[in-house]
């Protein structure tokens, strides 16, 4: 079995962050959450080592800043986590804002970038044949 990536290994505290950013993620079971983080990891693993390192640092920084206000990051503190993230988004420190942006982008990549979810939840599916493909689909 392939070893899990850096984000998947941080599933426990990334879940509350993901749920604050994408409220619909509250409905994800363990397997679905792993899939989200695996997709995010795949993006991260493609990037140069320095960028990967900075992305993990960014996520850890956000976790630490949330923990300062809310204590250990957990699903039971969803309201506190969401409020804290909203504050951090408008932080005076550009580095904190950037760390939040990077974490948010990675998590959203795993959630919204999943073709299965795009089709099932957003009604989006790439139509390779364009107009013709759409007509073919509706033709009995």
Partner 1 sequence: MRIVEADIAIVGSGAGGGTVAARLAPLVARGKRVILFEQGPRFDYRRFNGHELEMSRMLYREGGGFMVADGTVSLAFVEGYGGSTVVYTGTSLEPPARIIERWNLPGLSPDELVRRARCYAQDNGVHALPAAQINENNRLFVAGCRELGWNATQFAVNTRGCLGSGLCNLGCPNNAKQGTHVVQLPRAESRGVEVITRARVMRLRERRLEVEVGLNPDGSPGEWEPGNYEVRARRVILAGGVVGSTTLLLRSGFDRTLPAVGRYFTCQPAHILVAEHPHPVQNALGHPKSFLWDERIESDHFFLETCMYPPFITAKNMTGFGPDHERFLRRFDHLQMILVLACDEALPNQRIVLDRRGNPQVRYRLDSRTIRALVGGTRAAAKIFFAAGALRVHAPSARPTCLETDARDRIETRIRTEYFLPGTVSVSAAHLMGGCRMGRSATDSVTNVDGQVHGYPWLHVADASLFPTALEANPYLTIMALADRVADAVLDKEHA
Q: What number of chain residues touch partner 1 (CB under 8 A)?
A: 47
Which of 81, 61, 58 shows the shortest CA–CA distance to 71?
A: 81
**Does position 101 bind partner 1 by CB under 8 A?**
yes
DSSP letter at 10?
G
Among residue numbers 108 through 127, which ones bind partner 1 (CB under 8 A)? 108-109, 111-115, 118, 121-124, 126-127
32 is a site residue for partner 1 (CB under 8 A): no
Which of 54, 37, 45, 8 lies closest to 113, judged by CA? Answer: 37
Four-point Cα dihedral 102, 105, 110, 116, nearest 10 = -170
Handedness of CA 91, 103, 31, 127 (dihedral sign): positive
- Binders of partner 1 in range 54-73 (CB under 8 A): none
Binding site for partner 1 (CB under 8 A): 20-24, 39, 42-43, 46-48, 51, 82, 85-86, 89-90, 94-95, 97-98, 100-102, 104-105, 108-109, 111-115, 118, 121-124, 126-134
């Amino acid at each position: 079995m392939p070893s899990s990536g850096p984000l998947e290994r941080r599933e426990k505290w990334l879940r509350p962050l993901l749920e604050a950013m994408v409220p619909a993620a509250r409905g994800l079971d363990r397997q679905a959450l792993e899939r989200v983080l695996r997709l995010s990891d795949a993006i991260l693993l493609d990037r140069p080592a320095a960028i990967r390192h900075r992305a993990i640092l960014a996520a850890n920084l956000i976790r630490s800043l949330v923990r300062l206000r809310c204590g250990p990051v957990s699903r039971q503190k969803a309201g506190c986590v969401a409020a804290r993230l909203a504050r951090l988004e408008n932080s005076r420190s550009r580095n904190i804002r950037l760390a939040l942006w990077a974490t948010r982008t990675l998590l959203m990549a795993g959630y919204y970038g999943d073709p299965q979810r795009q089709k099932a939840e957003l009604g989006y599916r790439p139509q390779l044949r364009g107009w013709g493909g759409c007509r073919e689909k509706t033709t009995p």
